């Protein structure tokens, strides 16, 4: 690797893929280092009888459960929530549910409106054209006109059917006069740009065997590579290097034979997610940047937000085919999204009505309960009650930034290359707990209105940290933020971050649409201003 | 492939029948078809389960009644009992005979038809939401 890349991207997931495609199409020389590998759709088990069995290990979203060499272990001993992710070409989009949600206009003005957290350095209107663009690139299916949002450009594909569970959930919401809408999803309701129509297998979160769901290995990497981007897999970065001028000059990475390389670059973009990115910055900088690269604010790794997830399951007499996909959401609701201070907390949550999967469920989780409770005749009773006869209302609870919730380097844990692992220190706030309690009460009412014969709730799912945000926040003030509004480090002008680390607040929405829109906005700005930028030589 | 010794397999099948008995129209574990082959298949796909499964099965005393062994394991080694339950139920719910009774063909392909797409518009299910109008909060007006 003697050549100097114009742009080095670290991480080939959602934001890295968006950056690589657009930079390469603009004629910029791109090298991307990805610690994982390419995954073929025939490796997924969604079209095989073993789907549920393998979802509990090989395709589990928690890297500590998978235990693959391509993952790095994470110390979660001081966290209420486990962070979830996947390392590979396409990153966590390989196993996300593809809820394709925009943030609300109010999400960008939380300090102004509710007196908490901070405002973003740009508005919904600034981001809107990039949301529109990403809808087309991903092939979003949805129904225009959702009154929970300002008027917007319709998505390119018609909505997926809401199915029996969506209709039942909707009837309950109508009984109560509450908002619902067919959910937007990055899953094609028609064949789209080389991808298949969704087959509704309902296995989105363990990889789509149909090559339908919009994961960036399918939506972006082929174009990026066709335009000259070089993608190197099995490349684990241990440090971003810095030159005598204090500019990022590349990265040291280790191949799968243990050989170390130095990829030099004029510019470095980190897209390693809200845990991996601060980990790498904290590992970098040397003596010149004590405390980590780009960390003069001391905020690298801080303000971690992970969206605590709670849920209500309703059980019904009628057959609902509730193993049918898409797995993510049939309908959503923003009835209780915005702040109402009379509830005793600020901010809110999106709800998503979801199927409940196959017959196996989580049998391994029953150890220690009275035997007759989980097994024997009750096994059949519980399975018949849930399987095909239930759906879930989930809560994406807005998580406010708290500097004490953070990613740090672990003292002893390492990955297979001996690089220190991240440790997560994260506690739910009082606001979050009140928010979840309120929403669970409302969901119980929604389930009763839908005619549920019985209801169960989960107050906090530990394996729910899909959304990794806030650990390199954007802002206008270098003392209170790590990055400017374009994802550029305040400290190192040719170092950029484009993943969920950039978020100022978390919203109550699944973040991938916003991660991609922000990445696109930042990259387009980078392309427009490339002649004016300082780069390492 | 024979993933388990005869003794361990006998213990697994006996406890499997306690955990998954014939009831509510469903067969017991060992009547669900060739569960021995399916258990081997489970362990081939999830080899990390074999060690803890063997350990748990080795705790079953010779001649100990399966129901009593299951109760005792659940008290003394709940993780071990959970592993036995996971292996048995994973195999059970993959058996074609069981799936047929349940009316479950696996996570099947069922692409949507155009008729399904907008059914909520045709029967006006969505109309009340539309009629209530916008609910978003405009930051400029608070």
Three-state SS string over A297-343 comes to CCCCCECCECCCEEEEEEECCCCCCCCCCCCCCCEEECCCCCCCHHH
Task: Name every chain A residue with its beta carbon within 8 A of the beta carbon of B104.
Answer: 323, 358-359, 387-388
Mutation target among A48, A149, A359 for the B interface, most CBs of B within 10 A: A359
Q: Are residues A494 and A536 in contact, defined by beta-carbon separation less than 8 angstroms?
A: yes
| CA A25, A224, A248, A501 torsion-angle sign | positive
Question: Mapping DSSP to helix (H, G, I), strand (E, B) and coil, where does residue A128 land?
Answer: helix
Q: Which residues of chain B does A338 touch, with a Cβ-Cβ cutoff of 8 Å?
A: 135-137
pLDDT on residue A460: 86
Q: Are B112 and A200 within 8 A, CB to CB?
A: yes
Handedness of CA A21, A23, A29, A31 (dihedral sign): negative
Report residue A497 CA to chain centroid gap: 15
Let me know: does A514 contact A350? Beta carbons within 8 Å. Answer: no
Burial letters A319-357, b for 16+ CB under 10 A, else e = ebbbbbbbbbbbbbbbbbbbbeeeeebbbbbbbbbbbbb
With beta carbons under 8 A apart, name residues in chain A contacting B46.
Answer: 53-54, 57
Write the secondary structure of A42-90 as one string of H (helix), E (strand) and C (coil). Answer: HHCCCCCCCHHHHHCCCCCCCHHHHCCCCCCCCEEEEECCCECCCCECC
Give me A391's structure tokens: 């759906």
Closest Cβ opposite residue A359 in set B41, B104, B137: B104
**Residue pointed to by tokens 């978020």:** A503
Q: How far apart are CA A154 and CA A164, in angstroms?
A: 25
> The tokens 């590992």 sit on which residue?
A283
In angstroms, the Cα distances linking B20 to A173, A378, B13, B24, B27 are: 38, 9, 10, 11, 8
The low-confidence residues of chain B, meaning pLDDT below 50, are: none
Cβ atoms of residues A304 and A45 within 8 Å: no
The CA R_g of chain A, rounded to the nearest whole Å, is 22
Reference A502, options A269, A319, A313; nearest CA is: A269
**Percentage of chain A modeled with pLDDT above 70:** 98
**Cβ B21–A198 below 8 Å, yes or no?**
no
From residue A127, alpha-carbon distances to A515, A530, B58 in Å are 11, 21, 61
Q: Find residue A37's DSSP bridge partners.
A: A88
Alpha carbons A449 and A352: distance in angstroms, whole number: 16
Beta bridge partners of A182: A331
Mean pLDDT of A128-143: 98
Which chain B residues contact residue A49 at CB under 8 A?
Answer: 94, 106
Contact criterion met (CB below 8 Å) for A478 and A490:
yes
From A109, which residue of chain B is nearest by alpha-carbon distance?
A: B139
Which residues 32-71 of B are in CB contact (within 8 Å) with A? 41-42, 45-46, 48, 70-71
Residue of B nearest to A144 (CA): B130
Beta bridge partners of A378: none
List Cβ neighbours of A385 (8 Å cut-off, separation of 6 or more): A315, A454
Higher pLDDT, A166 or A535: A166
B24 vs A contacts (CB less than 8 Å) = 377, 380-381, 384
Confidence of residue A364 (pLDDT cuts 50, 70, 90): very low
Query: CA dihedral in degrees (A161, A162, A164, A170; nearest 10)?
Result: -150
Neighbours of B97 (CB within 10 A): 14
CA quadruple B80, B84, B86, B92: dihedral, nearest 10: -170
CA distance A139 to A191: 9
Express each pLDDT in A276-329 by its tens digit.
999 999 999 998 898 999 999 999 999 999 999 999 999 999 999 999 999 989
- Chain B residues with CB-CB distance to A182 below 8 A: 120, 126
- Residue B109 contacts A, CB cutoff 8 Å: yes
**Contact residues for A492 (Cβ-Cβ < 8 A; gap 6+):** A242, A246, A247, A248, A289, A293, A294
Calculate how close chain A gets to B65, using CA atoms only, in Å: 15
Residue-wise pLDDT for A396-451, tens only, equals: 999 999 999 999 999 999 999 999 999 999 999 999 999 999 999 999 999 999 99
Mean pLDDT (chain A) is 96
Residues 6+ apart with CB under 8 A from A197: A188, A189, A190, A191, A212, B111, B112
Residue of chain A whose alpha carbon sits nearest to that of B113:
A161
Q: Which residue of A has its CA nearest to B142?
A: A113
- pLDDT by residue (tens digit) across A203-244? 999 999 999 999 999 999 999 999 999 999 999 999 999 999
pLDDT-derived band at A365 (thresholds 50, 70, 90) equals very low
The CA distance from A512 to A214, in Å, is 11
pLDDT band at residue A531 under the 50/70/90 scheme: confident
Phi, psi (deg, nearest 5) at residue A183: -80, 140
Substitution target in B97, B106, B113, B133 with the highest count of A β-carbons within 10 Å is B106
Q: Which residues of B touch A113 (CB under 8 A)?
A: 137, 139, 142
pLDDT of residue A532: 87
Q: How far apart are CA A514 and CA A108, in angstroms?
A: 11
Considering only CB atoms, which chain B residues are within 8 Å of A106?
Answer: 136-139
**Residue A163 and residue B103: Cβ atoms within 8 Å?**
no
Cα(A240)–Cα(A264) distance, rounded to whole angstroms? 10
Note whether A50 contacts B103, CB cutoff 8 Å: no
Q: What is the pLDDT of residue A536?
A: 87
Is the per-residue pLDDT at A368 higher than 80?
Answer: no
How is B78-114 classified by DSSP, letter by letter?
Answer: HHHHHHHHHHHHHHHHH-HHHHHHHT--SS---PPPH
Query: What distance lies between CA B68 and its chain's CA centroid?
Result: 23
CB atoms A109 and B86 under 8 Å: no
Q: B86 and chain A: CB distance < 8 Å anywhere?
A: yes
- Which residue from A minimizes the CA distance to B69? A371
What residues of B are in contact with residue A198 (Cβ under 8 Å)? Answer: 111-112
Is there a cis peptide before residue A103, judged by omega within 30 degrees of 0?
A: no
**Closest-approach residue (CA) in chain B for A166:** B120
Please state which of the ranges A10-14, A506-510, A532-536 shows the lowest mean pLDDT.
A532-536
Asked if ipTM goes beyond 0.90, one says yes
Nearest 5°: the CA angle A264, A270, A230 is 55
Contact list, B126 vs chain A (CB under 8 Å): 170, 181-182
The CA distance from B56 to B79, in Å, is 9
Q: How far apart (Å, rounded) are the C-alpha atoms in residues A279 and A285?
A: 12
**C-beta of residue A137 within 8 angstroms of C-beta of residue A20:** no
Q: How far apart are CA B134 and CA A338, in angstroms?
A: 13
Q: What is the count of residue pairs from A and B with beta carbons less than 8 Å apart?
A: 185
Give the residue from chain A lying closest to B75, CA to CA: A368
pLDDT-derived band at A1 (thresholds 50, 70, 90) equals very low
- Please give the residue of chain A at the shortest CA–CA distance from B116: A161
Show Cβ contacts of residue A384 under 8 Å, excluding neighbours closer than 6 positions.
Answer: B24
Residues of chain A found within 8 Å of residue B85, distances taken between Cβ atoms: 363-364, 366-367, 374-375
């Amino acid at each position: 690797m003697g050549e100097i890349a114009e742009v080095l991207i670290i991480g080939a997931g959602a934001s890295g893929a968006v950056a690589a495609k657009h930079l390469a199409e603009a004629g910029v020389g791109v090298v991307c280092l990805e610690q994982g590998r390419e995954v073929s759709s025939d490796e997924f088990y969604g079209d095989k009888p073993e789907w549920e069995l393998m979802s509990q290990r090989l395709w589990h979203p928690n890297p500590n459960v998978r235990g693959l060499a391509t993952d790095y272990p994470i110390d979660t001993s001081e966290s209420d929530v486990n962070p979830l992710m996947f390392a590979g070409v396409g990153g966590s989009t390989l196993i996300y549910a593809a809820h394709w949600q925009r943030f609300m206009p109010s999400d960008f003005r939380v300090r102004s409106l509710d007196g908490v957290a901070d405002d973003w350095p740009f508005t919904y209107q600034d981001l809107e054209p990039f949301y529109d663009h990403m809808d087309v690139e991903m092939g979003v299916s949805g129904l225009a006109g959702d009154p929970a949002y300002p008027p917007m450009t319709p998505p390119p594909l018609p909505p997926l059917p809401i199915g029996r569970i969506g209709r039942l959930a909707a009837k309950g919401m109508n009984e109560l006069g509450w908002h619902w809408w067919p959910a937007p999803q990055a899953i094609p309701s028609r064949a789209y740009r080389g991808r298949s129509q969704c087959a509704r297998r309902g296995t989105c979160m363990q990889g789509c065997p149909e090559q339908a769901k919009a994961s960036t290995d399918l939506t972006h990497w082929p174009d990026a590579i066709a335009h000259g981007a070089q993608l190197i897999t099995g490349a684990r970065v241990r440090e971003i290097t810095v030159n005598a001028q204090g500019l990022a000059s590349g990265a040291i990475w280790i191949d799968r034979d243990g050989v170390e390389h130095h990829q030099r670059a004029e510019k470095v973009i980190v897209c390693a997610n809200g845990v991996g990115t601060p980990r790498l910055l904290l590992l970098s900088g040397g003596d010149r940047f004590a405390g980590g690269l780009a960390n003069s604010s001391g905020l690298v790794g801080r303000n971690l937000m992970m969206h605590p997830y709670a849920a209500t399951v309703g059980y019904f007499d009628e057959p609902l085919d509730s193993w049918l996909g898409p797995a993510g959401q049939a309908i959503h609701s923003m009835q209780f999204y915005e702040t109402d201070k009379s509830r005793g907390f600020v901010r809110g949550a999106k709800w998503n009505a979801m199927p409940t999967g196959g017959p196996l469920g989580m049998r391994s989780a029953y150890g220690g309960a009275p035997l007759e409770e989980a097994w024997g005749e009750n096994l059949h009773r519980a399975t018949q009650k849930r399987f095909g006869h239930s759906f879930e209302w989930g809560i994406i609870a807005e998580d406010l930034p708290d500097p004490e919730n953070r990613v740090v380097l672990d003292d002893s844990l390492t990955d297979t290359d001996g690089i220190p692992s991240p440790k997560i220190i994260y506690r739910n706030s009082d606001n979050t707990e009140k928010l979840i309690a309120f929403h669970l009460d409302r969901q119980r009412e929604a389930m009763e209105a839908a005619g549920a014969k019985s209801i169960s709730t989960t107050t906090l799912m530990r394996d729910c940290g899909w959304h990794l945000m806030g650990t390199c926040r954007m802002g206008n003030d270098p003392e209170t933020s790590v990055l400017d509004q374009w994802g550029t480090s305040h400290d190192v002008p040719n170092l950029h971050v484009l993943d969920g680390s950039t978020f100022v607040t978390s919203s109550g929405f699944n973040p991938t649409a916003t991660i991609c829109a922000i990445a696109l906005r930042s990259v387009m700005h980078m392309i427009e201003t490339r002649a004016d930028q300082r780069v390492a030589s | 492939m024979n993933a388990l010794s005869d003794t361990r397999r006998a213990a697994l099948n006996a406890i499997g029948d306690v955990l998954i008995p014939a009831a509510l129209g469903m067969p017991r574990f060992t009547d669900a078809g060739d569960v021995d082959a399916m258990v081997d298949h489970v362990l081939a796909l999830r080899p990390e389960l074999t060690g803890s499964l063997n350990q748990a099965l080795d705790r079953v005393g010779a001649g100990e009644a399966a129901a009593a062994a299951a109760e005792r394991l659940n008290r003394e080694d709940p993780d071990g009992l959970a592993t036995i339950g996971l292996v048995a139920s994973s195999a059970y719910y993959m058996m074609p005979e069981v799936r047929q009774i349940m009316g479950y063909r696996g996570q099947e392909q069922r692409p949507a038809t155009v008729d399904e797409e907008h059914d909520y518009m045709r029967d006006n299910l969505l109309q009340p939401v539309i009629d209530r109008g916008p609910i978003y909060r405009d930051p400029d007006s608070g």
